[in-house]
Amino acid sequence: MSAASQLLKQHLQQRQMLGKTHVALRPGTMDRLTGVVRESAVRAAPAPEPSRSFAAAPAPAARILLEAPPPETKKADLLEVAGETLEEKLAALRTMAETWEPARSMQSLRKTMVFAVGSPLASLMFVGEAPGAEEEKLGEPFVGPAGQKLTAIIKAMGLERRKVYISNICKFRPAMDNQGSGNRKPTAEEMRACVPFVLTEIDLIKPLVIVALGATAAEGLGIPGTVGGLRGKFHSTSGIPTMVTYHPSYLLREEQTGDGIRAKRAVWEDMLKVMEKLGLPISAKQRGYFQTK
Ligand code: URA
């Protein structure tokens, strides 16, 4: 697709996100637009992926973006990105997020965009809710106290932070009066403005398993409910097994209020299921963490 077609499509997607359902076209534009649609609808499947950081299971079948997907699928929420390689596409998506009008025009979101971190070849993807103060400062998700907790969980699973992929539903820190270091959950409207990004990241990376950290992340992925009700079993995000577990901030709060072990045990049980699903080795020591005697 040409750069001009790409820009036009991006513009139309942004207009749609802003609730605009009609555009005025000059004579002749329709022919060119039809060309855009045809070109992308017959786009060839991507080249075979290089091997993943871990897990022997085959990657899910590659999916092709179509312009007019059936409304019940998530395809309508995907963004079309330029680039040949996965890295180029992710870089283009990151650039698109920087200037994403539906989020930028929202006064309730701050202006620093925090994208994602980790390996594009990751088999495991973690999804949080939104960046906080530390994340905004460093431009990387999960680097504050909750991030340190998440990194410890990843390590306990025998993995490295740089080999998984970590993203958020909302790419901008939700604004507050007298913000200081305070953070809040994104609203449904704020999530709606950003969710095409995480869905497109999922579509590009094709992780074998997703972990939604907390009910807000789960809701953003289209899995509504409480963590208590959702955790412990796999749900689906565009066909990818998705485990919902407690947000690391919840673990930190529970540590303070006294039932930290119960919460940690629950998260660890969920992570063992994730490891099993990925075919990762699990040692007796790992099985034994937080086990009741
Ligand atoms: N909490 C989140 O959900 N995401 C972050 O990036 C940091 C804290």
**More confident: 92 or 39:** 92
Q: Is the CB of 215 under 6 A from ligand 1?
A: no
List 52's β-bridge partners, or say none.
none
| pLDDT tens per residue across span 177-203 | 888 888 899 999 999 999 999 999 999
pLDDT band per the 50, 70, 90 thresholds, residue 291: confident
Residue 39: what pLDDT? 32
> Residue 183 C-alpha to ligand 1 middle, in angstroms?
10
Reported residue count of the chain is 293
- Tell me the mean pLDDT in the region 136-151: 97
42: buried, middle or exposed (CB in 10 Å: 19+, 13-18, 0-12)?
Answer: exposed
pLDDT band per the 50, 70, 90 thresholds, residue 47: very low
Query: What atom in ligand 1 is closest to the CA of residue 134?
Result: 7
List 125's β-bridge partners, or say none.
165, 210
Q: Is the CB of 134 under 6 A from ligand 1?
A: no
What distance lies between CA 21 and its chain's CA centroid? 26
| pLDDT tens per residue across span 218-267 | 999 999 999 999 999 999 999 999 999 999 999 999 999 878 899 999 99
pTM, two decimals, is 0.79
Say whether pLDDT at 117 is over 80.
yes
| pLDDT tens per residue across span 15-34 | 555 555 555 555 555 554 44
Distance from C-alpha of 126 to C-alpha of 184, rounded to nearest angstrom: 19
Question: What is the phi-psi region of residue 235: left when phi exceeds 0, alpha when psi lies from -120 to 50, beta otherwise?
Answer: beta
What is the DSSP annotation of 142-157? S-SHHHHHHHHHHHHT
